Structure 1
Amino acid sequence: MKLVVLGLSLSSSWGNGHATTFRALLSAFAERGHEILFLERDKPWYADHRDLPDPDFCELLYYDSVPELERWRGEIERADAVMVGSYVPEGVAVGRWVQRHAGGTTCFYDIDTPVTLARLERGDDEYLIPELIPGYDIYFSFTGGPTLDRLERQFGSPCARPLYCSVDTDRYRPLDVPKRWDLSYLGTYSDDRQPTLEKLLIEPARARPDLRFVVAGPQYPAGIDWPANVERIEHLPPADHPEFYAASRFTLNVTRADMIAAGWSPSVRLFEAGACGTPIVSDRWAGIEEIFEPGREIVLADTTQDVIDALAGPAEAIGNAARQAVLAGHSARKRAEQFEGDLMAGAARRRSQMQSRRAVAS
């Protein structure tokens, strides 16, 4: 099939997790024989940090404004499916334009579902409004569980389906490199994650000055008091992620507050680290046990002492079990297979609805 995606970014992973999510999913989708066009809004902060300017699995083109999308109107009309992503600049206008012109299945891919729903409750219409949701044939959600029912019942989505992040297991795999850190963390700064990072990494670093820690990611304020044994890496491109995880004896997962409240919102970092066989220490949220088995495939930590205890324990078996869980259910190939099936089912529903309308009209 021909798929057109209008997403936040494919070319740059700087300051966002969308690019790596799209790369894993779409490269595996293309591997299944499908054709993809990705349209990205040309923004200077991504243009200055493009780490995948020329993907080999799809055509990547840039546009400067919503009116400029008219250049690809024919592509939109002929595509089997058109997908709009969350946080797309002027996403409401983009969504209206897509729903007006798309000839095939229309879908919204929300890589930020709990944040999106919180924004909708506040009347924030940065990239989605409630009126647009029923017009998307499928609402693909980063979050599973009860949120899917809410999208259908409260917001009128014809079909809400989970589409968790995934990982390219050819790129993310165990590597034989020296261990540089006892505990690592990879993530862009956010106000709501910082208290947990303080509790589960910075405080353990203060308590164990003999151990080595690292925090990788941009936008951390200058005023943070980093202990001397916490290394800082401002930006780590995806190509360096596998070696980063392989050099970590444990790695930390910290979840945003809205996603903890919703549950069933696994970060792509969980799957990346798991695929590399790196043991994961994570905060706790509903549904995590459906992704990794606590105590066997992941360590759940509520306190600073929980982390200190984990770092004193065995690591290899947990990392190996996490990798097997990712290979079994969360690889990009598995996710692309699910995505393809959902798109085909959506197309069948659309055809059935059109046939019913024609029958009524006649």
Structure 2
Amino acid sequence: MKIVVFGLTISSSWGNGHATLWRGLCRALAARGHKVVFYEHDVPYYASNRDLDRVPGGELILYGAWSDIRARAIADVRDADVAMVTSYCPHGIEATEVVRAEHRALRVFYDLDTPVTLSRLSRGEAITYIGPRGLADFDLVLSYTGGVALRRLKDQLGARRVAPLYGHVDPDVHRPVEPIGRFTSDLSYLGTYAQDRQAALEALFIEPARRRPERRFLIGGAQYPQDFPWTENIFFVRHLPPPEHPAFFASSRLTLNITRKAMAEMGWCPSGRLFEAAACGAPILTDDWEGLDAFFTPGREILVAKSTDEAVAALDLDEAELLRISKSARERVLAEHTSAQRARDFEAAIEATRSDRAQPAREMMEA
């Protein structure tokens, strides 16, 4: 298939979770014979932190103004098998108009930020990547979030057919490597600063650091404010490009996952970091949310903390127990949560939708 995507970014992993997911998925799709043409608005903050300049097995089109590439986008969509618009696409509404005007390609919307989309909708806030017709013009809506979110996409945004397409990991990129001294920690946390994660970060990371001053804690990420409540045993590394993630995780005795508030409240929304860390062989401590046990078995493949006491208890586990948990998690990820598996999930959703779309025509011919 030729798959045309109008997305946020694939070229820069700075301050977003989209790029790494797209890289793994594009590589997996290319291995299965497909080609992805990815349209990305060329903005300064991504350009200055660009860590990829071509789509694996596909094509990257960077553009300044939508008017500059509209004609090319129309031509690509006209020649495509699948035309997709994603959440946070800077020209999502304009791209949707191009996609809905053509009828050869299967029209797909992929919301990689479903809880944020639905939260804004419930508050009456503008959603810049979805037009006034909602999602009614798409043949298929894919969601990074499962559970109740799928029904709400139908009920509130008019999606006709929905399917989950969860996070994933490319095990060729995220794998066990030798630890690196500057990343060594007893508890690490990798993530862009977000105010709605701060309360959980204080309970599960900062307060444990205060209680265990002899231990080393490490944060990797971007956009942390000057007034962040650092302690003497919390260390910081600025934004890490994806090639450094395996060493970061492999150097962690235990690593922490914290879910964005809207995603935690909705559930069924595993962070890509969960799969990345597990694939690198790091034991994981996470906050709790509905649906977690569909991806990892708590206590056997992942540790769950709802309080500072539980986080400290996880930190105090012996090496043998942490190793057992990390091995079990890695086995689960390699079996169920790789980019190759998500590529197969994507193909299945496309084929099912294509079959449904063709059914009325078959019925008319039979009549």
SS at match of 1:269: helix
Poorly superposed stretches of 4+, deviation over 4 Å: none
State the match for 1:341 in structure 2: 348
Give the partner amino acid of 1:80.
Answer: D
Q: Which moved more, 1:121-130 or 1:247-256?
A: 121-130
State the match for 2:149 in structure 1: 147
What are the ranges of 5 or more consecutive residues in structure 1 without an aligned counterpart? none
SS at match of 1:249: coil
State the match for 1:248 in structure 2: 252
What are the ranges of 5 or more consecutive residues in structure 2 without an aligned counterpart? none
Deviation at 1:309, TM superposition (A): 0.7
**Residue 196 (structure 2) aligned to one of 185, 192, 202:** 192
Report the Cα distance in structure 1 between the residues aligned to 2:241 and 2:361, rounded to whole angstroms: 45
* Post-superposition CA distance 1:245-283 (Å, at most 9, x none): 000011000011111111000000000001112111000
**Residue 176 (structure 2) aligned to one of 168, 174, 177:** 174
Give the partner amino acid of 1:17.
Answer: G
Report the Cα distance in structure 2 between the residues aligned to 1:74 and 1:353, rounded to whole angstroms: 27
Give the partner amino acid of 1:258.
Answer: A
Q: Which moved more, 1:96-105 or 1:311-320?
A: 96-105
* Post-superposition CA distance 1:295-326 (Å, at most 9, x none): 00011101111111111113100101110110
State the match for 1:233 in structure 2: 237
Give the partner amino acid of 1:59.
Answer: E
**Residue 166 (structure 2) aligned to one of 161, 164, 167:** 164
**8 Å contact from structure 1 (residues 95, 132) kept in 2:** no
Q: Which moved more, 1:145-154 or 1:271-280?
A: 145-154
SS at match of 1:107: strand
State the match for 1:296 in structure 2: 300
Report the Cα distance in structure 1 between the residues aligned to 2:358 and 2:307, rounded to whole angstroms: 53
Give the partner amino acid of 2:241.
Answer: P
* Post-superposition CA distance 1:26-76 (Å, at most 9, x none): 110111011111111111111111101123321111122333322231110
How much identity, in percent, do the aligned residues show? 45
State the match for 1:224 in structure 2: 228
**8 Å contact from structure 2 (residues 3, 34) kept in 1:** yes
State the match for 1:47 in structure 2: 47
**8 Å contact from structure 2 (residues 36, 55) kept in 1:** no
Number of residue pairs the alignment of both structures matches: 360
State yes or no: 1:329 paired with 2:333.
no
C-alpha spacing 1:178/1:219, structure 2 compared with 1 (3 Å): closer
**Residue 325 (structure 2) aligned to one of 318, 328, 349:** 318
Deviation at 1:354, TM superposition (A): 4.8
* Post-superposition CA distance 1:179-218 (Å, at most 9, x none): 7101110111111001111111111111111101111110
Report the Cα distance in structure 2 between the residues aligned to 1:55 and 1:162, rounded to whole angstroms: 23
Report the Cα distance in structure 1 between the residues aligned to 2:157 and 2:33, rounded to whole angstroms: 34
Q: Which moved more, 1:294-303 or 1:116-125?
A: 116-125
Report the Cα distance in structure 2 between the residues aligned to 1:324 and 1:188, rounded to whole angstroms: 27
**1:111-150 matches, cutoff 5 A:** 111-121=112-122, 122-129=124-131, 131-150=133-152
State yes or no: 1:35 paired with 2:35.
yes
Report the Cα distance in structure 1 between the residues aligned to 2:103 and 2:218, rounded to whole angstroms: 46
Over the residues paired in the alignment, what is the CA RMSD in angstroms?
A: 1.7
State yes or no: 1:90 paired with 2:97.
no
TM-score (norm 2): 0.94
State yes or no: 1:79 paired with 2:86.
no
TM-score (norm 1): 0.95
Report the Cα distance in structure 1 between the residues aligned to 2:12 and 2:166, rounded to whole angstroms: 20
**Residue 274 (structure 1) aligned to one of 247, 272, 278:** 278
State the match for 2:216 in structure 1: 212
Report the Cα distance in structure 2 between the residues aligned to 1:359 and 1:129, rounded to whole angstroms: 35
State the match for 1:16 in structure 2: 16
* Post-superposition CA distance 1:77-102 (Å, at most 9, x none): 11000111110113222222221235
